[in-house]
Amino acid sequence: MEPILAMLVGALFTVAIYLFLSKHVIRILMGAAILGNAVNLLIFTAGRVTREVPPIIPGDADALTGAAANPLPQALILTAIVISFSFFAFLLVLGYRAFQELETDSSDDMRVAEPVGDKTPPAGY
Amino acid sequence: MRTVIFRSIAPYLTSLMVLFSIFVLLRGHNEPGGGFIGGLIAASALAIYGIACGVAPVRRAIYFHPMAIAAFGLFMSGMAGVLSVFASVPYMSGLWIYPHLFGVEIPLSSVLVFDVGVYLVVVGAISSIALALEERDRD
Amino acid sequence: MSASAPGTTFIVLMLPFLAALIAPWLTRRLGHNAAWLLALAPVAIFIHFLGFSADVADGGVVTGGFQWVPSYNVSFSWLIDGLSLTFALLISGIGALIILYSGGYLKGHDQLGRFFSFMLLFMGAMLGVVISDSFLMLFVYWELTSITSFLLIGFDHTREASRRAAIQALVVTGGGGLALLAGLLVIWNITGVSQVSLLLSYGDELRGSPFYLLALFLVLGGAFSKSAQFPLHFWLPNAMEAPTPVSAYLHSATMVKAGVYLLMRLNPVLGDTVWWETILPVFGGATLIVGTLLAIRQTDLKLMLAYTTVSSLGLLVMLTGFGSEHAIAAAVLYLVAHSLFKGGLFMVAGLIDHEAGTRDVTKLGGLRKAMPVTFIAALAGAISMAGLPPFLGFLAKEEIYYALWATDPWSLAFVAIAVIGNGLMFVIGFAVALKPFLGPEVKTPKHAHEGPALLWLGPLTLGAAALVAALISPVTHRFISSPMASAIAGAPETVTISVIPHMGPALILSLVTIAFGIIAYRMLDRLRAGMAWLLSAIGWGPDRGFDQFISGAVRLSVAVTRLVQPGRLDVYMTVTFLMIAAALIGPMAWYGEWPAMPVWPEDAQFHELVVAAIVLIGLAAVIYARDRLTAIVSLGIQGFAVALIFMLFGAPDLSFTQFMVETLAVVILALVMTRLKLHASDHRPTLQKIIDMSVAIACGGGFTLYLLAVTQQPFNTALSDFFAAYSKIVAHGANVVNVIIVDFRGTDTLGEIAVVMVTGLAILSLIRIRTPRSTVADNDPDRRPGQAVVESREVR
């Protein structure tokens, strides 16, 4: 199953990056949301996939025996999902506020930090 | 969104979801679940309530500022690690006690305290974001 | 070798830094009288080092220290032999006088405490340079002298000239320091030792190495820049922007000699080669001549002295380069003599400036009645500088001529250079010491009278020291000159010259010099006019070159910044993702380690393929969505499909979390987006779309290939096995994922929930910060989209 997931990961990355490269804040945001999924699925697949057996120790056993999914990538991804969500929310609000302040949703027009025709620094001492 | 039906069932739905979230939180150590998922469920419950009935009732219902809840959760998680000082073991070592209550053995642990902290942080932070955004919807 | 009193020496090395710490506080309490207390620090250092002199005079070498970074064999260690001892005595002795002098000179200055602090810092750094045994310690102290010198030159930082001089000194000497570091590392690499004391036995190995020239040039870069050798001499006269105590201490007696010290220190191992014996004399000789000629041109007392300092340093480098027994003896004597007379003369110049209000030699005259003590001190300095008996300068000059005299053309050329240089220094010395004091009284900006004891104590003491040292020359030689010359030569040497002149070429050359000096002194005004004309005819100099270099550097950095920071997000993103694609695909292509062609997984089940297809459909819908709502919903679809994948492959926890998150994401996205008047559709030009798509495909394809390559490798299950085995036994939890999160990796999770919390706070503050829209935004007709209203903000 890994090859299929690998290609799916590639597709997710491609779309995310394509959206990133568009200049509109909204599309960049959606790209960010997809990028989070892409990375999570990447980690998940790299930890190898097993079908349908969650890493839960049966009641009468002391340790996980037999085929079960790899718990480590799951633990990594679980926190990553929540954190990427909070960052997505942050980006969303940032983009929204930028739109309100600058009245544009195009990253090309957002030139507050690096204005066009910035003055050269003083050449003296 | 603020239809009569939605408004009427939203409080019950929310209470059920919050209850469910606590259930998910507590069983997390042995079954699928845990602080993160529970917290997210509770946060969505509050968000739904906010969409249905407005933000003010939600804020009244949870009484504390959501960020305060998150801060308390973070503090709780941090302190759960500090507990291990009293057992002279490294920071964040799990500690377990098994008190008997009404004849039932209840396993309590610093890990559970930690997980509850995680739950509170997620509830607080996410619902604070959601509520703030919903509030903006109306001005 | 004996390792005595390591603790005391360490404390003594730290003493100036400690004194620097308390200096501002002490000065706030005691005003300028704090100088008396602060001068105790250098006095204590002086006494401590004096204790070594008997040992060192008998040929002893004192080393000490401790390991600093043992894994790299870097130690904090010191080496006290004739060379470093003489330097340490000069630094601490003159340092004490300078501290006192500063107290008088800057009396009432509101930054006096800071000044003391800088001075003491410098003293500590300079002491470290000459005492260091380990290379890295030497380098650290070396750069510390550059930095403290920068602070001192720029002390009067409200004036542009000061700032320029400070930056210039820092760039030149600091840059030279980097060259020195490289040179020391090359030496370290060749010989394998990082300590000066161990280096001495590796001379032949070093000279025979193919990297000898590299090491030599790098070390010379450091030494020449520090010691202001032509054509890097220009920073030193500019450094006269500093208050006079700084010029007297750093730029005549001590810091500028650090380069000479380095050459002397490395003479036994780097010297004795054709390169050494050509480069050093040639550059030294050129510096000597250029320095004196430029000094003639000046009318400012300090500048005259500064240029002669340049030439004296040239003379020292020249002598060090010759490397013969007498040349080294001459260098030693001249170095000590120069420190004494030049420090004194600088203090005199400052004293005149302080009392008369000007230091322009053409506006001064007849001060001998008003300032008799100063006159005596100036005279002592000038006599020593001119090389007249019975001062130490005389011994030095006799020894110089003795060392240089030979009849081959090469030597004769340097004899001529030395005679001209010494003759012109004779002129400058007396111009500084006689001109302001003799002749008719000239009205000066301030009514001149004798300065306070704090001011004339220093020059007078130094003058007396030069006299006494010459009169008791056998003692001087035993304790100072001979041990120092031995250390420089790397073999025992004895200096014998005394005040009583004896017939020979040296004496004749001295007489020639004096005659030349007297003639030149009478023609001083004409010489000055001639030099002024010559310099304006040349026009360009290294000093102006420095300005051009700096403004060129600024222009270059502006151009580079404009190039790499165009301010367009899509450019940054394109570059970033291209780099990521290159990082993913590049190594595979380079090593030819492409993943094997994947085979269609036989066990892939229909419902799994359907879910994967849903992800793809969701993605396509996001790209092609015509309106916002479709885009949001499609985003949700692909997210839920990913959650399904987690569910199908044994990750229920992930699946639930992903479901919740996607739901919340869609909700808040909808909440925000419905309020924005945004273009949901993509209106990039087609070409741009193709470029962006290629970048995205390169990157995404890279990830696919990478993931395929990874999954085709055998899987290391060590970590997962550990968690699976101990989850229940140790942590009493059956859900391994949750146990990892809250128990095994609990501290990680603590950090992660802190991040969640902080983003929550950041979002809240972002929402709450508002610009008052009514005032600026609506009333300003010129306001374009994209132009920020950042002037006024209010927080609600």
Residues C502 and C594 in one domain: no
Tell whether C528 is covered by a domain: no
Q: Is the pLDDT of residue C643 over 90?
A: yes
Of B31, B122, B133, the CB nearest to A82: B122
C191 with C129, same domain: the answer is: yes
Question: CA distances (Å), C338 to each of C343, C618, C665, C779, in order?
Answer: 8, 84, 78, 72
Q: Which helix (H) or strand (E) holds A125?
A: none
Distance from C-alpha of B39 to C-alpha of B70, rounded to nearest angstrom: 10
Q: Is-contact A96 C774, C-beta < 8 A?
A: no
DSSP, res C779: T
Of A121 and C132, which is predicted with more confidence? C132
Question: Which residues on C lie below 8 Å from A79 (Cβ)?
Answer: 741, 748-749, 752
More confident of the two residues C747 and B136: C747
Shortest Cα–Cα distance, B30 to chain A (Å) = 7
pLDDT at residue C626, as a whole number = 77
Segment 50-79 of chain B within 8 Å of chain C by CB: 51, 66-67, 70-71, 73-74, 77-78
pLDDT for B138 beyond 70: no
CA C245 to chain centre: 22
Look up residue C378 and give its two tokens.
């100036």
- Per the prediction, chain C carries an average pLDDT of 84
Q: Are residues C8 and C59 in contact, defined by beta-carbon separation less than 8 angstroms?
A: no
Q: Which residue, among C20, C14, C77, has the nearest Cα to C48 in the 3D structure?
A: C14
Q: Is residue C530 part of a domain?
A: no
Residues of chain B in contact with residue C767, where contact means CB-CB under 8 angstroms, are: 132-133, 136
Rounded to a whole number of angstroms, the CA Rg of chain A reads 22
| A84 pLDDT higher than 60 | yes
Evaluate if residue C512 carries a pLDDT over 50.
Answer: yes
DSSP SS3 for B52: helix
Q: Residue C179, SS3?
A: helix
Contact B32 A89 (CB under 8 A): no
Mutate to test the interface with A, among B123, B128, B133, B135 (most CBs of A within 10 A): B133
Distance in Å, alpha carbon of A82 to nearest chain B alpha carbon: 7
Per-residue pLDDT tens digits for C450-466: 778 888 888 888 888 88
Q: Find the CB nearest A33 among C665, C697, C727.
A: C665
Domain annotation covers residue C319: yes
Sequence-ordered strand ranges (E) for A1-125 = none
Partner residue facing C757 (CB), from B74, B107, B134 = B74
Q: Do A78 and C653 touch (CB under 8 A)?
A: yes
Best residue in B20, B75, B133 to probe C by mutation, most C CBs within 10 Å? B133
Other beta carbons within 10 Å of C361? 22
Give CA–CA dist C341/C380, Å, rounded: 8
pLDDT band at A68 (very low <50, low <70, confident <90, very high): confident
- Chain A residues within 8 A of C680 when measuring between CB atoms: 26
Q: Which is higher by pLDDT, A57 or C186?
A: C186
Amino acid identity, position C131: I
Inform me whether the C-beta atom of residue B76 falls under 8 Å from chain A C-beta atoms: no
Residue found by looking up tokens 């600088």 in the block: C346
Task: Tell me: pLDDT of C781 over 70.
Answer: no
Longest CA span, chain C:
114
pLDDT at A42: 93
Predicted pLDDT at A15: 94
Number of domains present in the structure of chain C: 4
Question: What pLDDT does A123 receive?
Answer: 66
For residue B33, the model assigns a pLDDT of 83
> For residue C329, what are its two tokens?
């003896």
How far is Cα C83 from Cα C97, in angstroms, rounded to an integer?
21
List, as one string, the DSSP characters of C147-191.
Answer: HHHHHHHTTSTTSHHHHHHHHHHIIIIIHHHHHHHHHHHHHHHHH
Band (pLDDT 50/70/90 cuts) for residue B121 is very high
Contact C756 B125 (CB under 8 A): yes
- B7-54 per-position pLDDT tens digit: 888 889 999 999 999 998 988 878 888 888 999 999 999 988 888 888
3-state secondary structure of C770: strand
C416 part of contact set with chain A, CB < 8 Å: no
Q: Which of C666, C753, C759 should one mutate to test binding to chain B, selecting the residue with the greatest count of B CBs within 10 A?
A: C753
CA distance A60 to chain C (A): 10
Q: Give the Å distances, CA to CA, from C773 to C362, C776, C790, C794.
A: 67, 6, 11, 11
- How is domain A2-51+69-109 classified at the CATH fold level? Helix Hairpins (1.10.287)
Closest CA to C266 of C493, C487, C1: C487
* Highest mean pLDDT pick, A46-50, C773-777, C782-786: A46-50
E runs forming strands in B67-121 = 96-97, 100-101, 104-105, 108-109
Which range has the top average pLDDT, A110-114, C649-653, C769-773? C649-653
Amino acid occupying residue C255: M
Same domain for C597 and C699, yes or no, is: yes
| A74/C577 CB distance under 8 A | no
C567 touches chain A (CB under 8 A): yes
Looking at chain B, which subunits does it touch, using at least 3 CB pairs closer than 8 Å as the criterion? A, C
* C709 and C759 together in one domain: no
pLDDT the model gives residue B139: 47
Residue ending a domain, choose from C233, C260, C287: C260
Is residue C95 a contact partner of residue C249, using CB atoms and an 8 Å limit? Answer: yes
Both C105 and C28 in one domain: the answer is yes
Which single residue is written with the structure tokens 């220009």? C234
Tokens matching residue A25:
């804040």
* Separation between Cα atoms, residue C23 and residue C454, nearest integer Å: 18
Cα(C562)–Cα(C432) distance, integer angstroms: 52
Same domain assignment for residues C255 and C302? no
Helices C409-433 and C325-356: crossing angle in degrees, nearest 10, is 20
**Residue C214 lies inside a defined structural domain of this protein:** yes
B67 touches chain A (CB under 8 A): no
**Which residues in chain B have Cβ-Cβ distances shorter than 8 Å to A54?**
32
Please tell me which residue of chain C has the smallest CA distance to A112: C788
ipTM of the complex: 0.91
B 84-123 residues with CB < 8 A to C? 91-92, 94, 96, 107, 109, 111, 114-115, 117-118, 121-122
Question: What residues of A are in contact with residue B125 (Cβ under 8 Å)?
Answer: 86
Query: Does C697 contact chain A (CB < 8 Å)?
Result: yes
Rounded to an integer, the average pLDDT of B74-99 is 81
Radius of gyration of chain B (CA): 17
| pLDDT band, very low/low/confident/very high, at C682 (cuts 50, 70, 90) | low
Question: What pLDDT is stored for residue C775 in this prediction?
Answer: 43
Task: Look at C656 and B67 and tell me if their CB atoms are within 8 Å.
Answer: no
**Per-residue model confidence as pLDDT tens digits over C65-75:** 888 777 777 78
User: Vertex C734, ends C728 and C735: CA angle to 5°?
Assistant: 130
Chain A residue numbers with beta carbons less than 8 Å from the beta carbon of C570 are 21-23, 107-108
Claim to verify: residue C592 and residue C709 sit in the same structural domain: yes
Question: CB distance from B133 to chain C under 8 Å?
Answer: yes
Does one domain contain both C624 and C513? no
Q: Do C760 and B67 touch (CB under 8 A)?
A: yes
What residue of B is the nearest CA neighbor of C654? B37
| B36–A79 CB contact, under 8 Å | yes
Average predicted confidence (pLDDT) for chain A:
85
User: Contact C656/B32, CB-based, under 8 Å?
Assistant: yes
Nearest alpha carbon to residue C254 among C338, C172, C178: C338
What's the Cα-to-Cα distance from C134 to each of B28, C67, C143, C198, C262, rounded to whole Å? 60, 10, 14, 10, 13
Residue C734 near chain A (CB below 8 Å) = yes
* Inside any domain, residue C265: no
Q: What's the gap between Cα C436 and its chain centre?
A: 38
Q: Residue C181: pLDDT band by 50, 70, 90 thresholds?
A: very high
Q: Same structural domain for residues C20 and C160? A: yes
Q: Please name the residue of chain B whose CA is at the shortest distance from the CA of residue C745.
A: B92
- Bridging pattern class, strands B96-97 and B108-109: antiparallel
Tell me the chain B residues in contact with residue A86 when contact means C-beta distances shorter than 8 Å: 125-126, 129
Domain assignment of residue C124, given as a range: 1-223+249-260
Region of residue A98 (left: phi > 0; alpha: psi -120 to 50; beta: else): alpha
CA distance C730 to C736: 11
Domain ranges within chain A, ordered by starting residue: 2-51+69-109
Span between the terminal Cα atoms of chain A, in Å:
65
Rounded distance between C-alpha atoms, residue C625 and residue C363, angstroms: 86
**CA C561/CA C563 separation, integer angstroms:** 5
Q: Which two tokens stand for residue B33?
A: 């679940």
| Chain A nearest CA to C219, separation (Å) | 29
What are the backbone angles phi and psi of residue C135, rounded to the nearest 5°?
-60, -45
Asked whether the beta carbons of A49 and A4 are under 8 A apart, the reply is no
**Rounded Cα distance, C617 and C620, in Å:** 5
B120 in contact with chain A, both atoms CB, cutoff 8 A: no
Q: pLDDT tens, C593-603?
A: 888 888 887 77
**pLDDT (mean) for C392-406:** 82
Per-residue model confidence as pLDDT tens digits over C723-733:
888 888 777 88
Extract the tokens encoding C196.
């000066």
* Residue B121 with chain C: CB contacts under 8 Å: 753, 756-757
Residues in a beta bridge with C79: C63
CB-nearest to B32 from A54, A89, A93 is: A54
Cβ-contact C5, C34 below 8 angstroms: no
The distance of B74 to chain C (nearest Cα, Å) reads 7
Q: Which positions ≥6 away from C315 have C-beta within 8 Å?
A: C284, C288, C334, C400, C418, C421
C62: β partners: C2, C80
Q: Is A86 on the interface with B (CB under 8 A)?
A: yes
Instruction: Say how far apart CA C645 and CA A4 lie, in whole Å.
Output: 12
Separate counts of helices (H) and strands (E) for chain A: 3, 0
CA C682 to chain B, closest CA, distance in angstroms equals 26
Question: Domain check: are C775 and C705 in the same one?
Answer: no
User: By the CB < 8 Å criterion, does A45 face chain C?
Assistant: yes
Q: Which residue has the higher pLDDT, C241 or C117?
A: C117
Partners of A56 in beta bridges = C735
Q: How far is A118 from chain C (nearest CA, A)?
A: 9
Question: E strand or H helix at C62, and its extent?
Answer: strand C62-69
- In this structure, the dihedral spanned by the alpha carbons of residues C269, C274, C277 and C283, taken in order and rounded to 10 degrees, is -110
Residue-wise pLDDT for C294-351, tens only, equals 888 888 888 888 888 898 899 889 888 888 888 888 888 888 888 888 888 888 888 8
Give the model's pLDDT for residue C678: 58
pLDDT recorded at residue B75: 92
β pairing state of B108-109 and B104-105 = unpaired
CA distance C82 to C492: 11
Residues C720 and C752 grouped into a single domain = no
- Beta-bridge partner residues of C75: C67
**Residue, of C681 and C503, whose pLDDT is higher:** C503
Least confident of B92-101, C122-131, C170-179: B92-101
DSSP letters spanning C615-628: HHHHHHHHHH-SSH
Averaged pLDDT, A35-63: 84
Cis check: omega of the bond before A121, within 30 degrees of 0: no
**Interchain pair C740, A71: CB under 8 A:** yes
Greater pLDDT, C170 or C732? C170
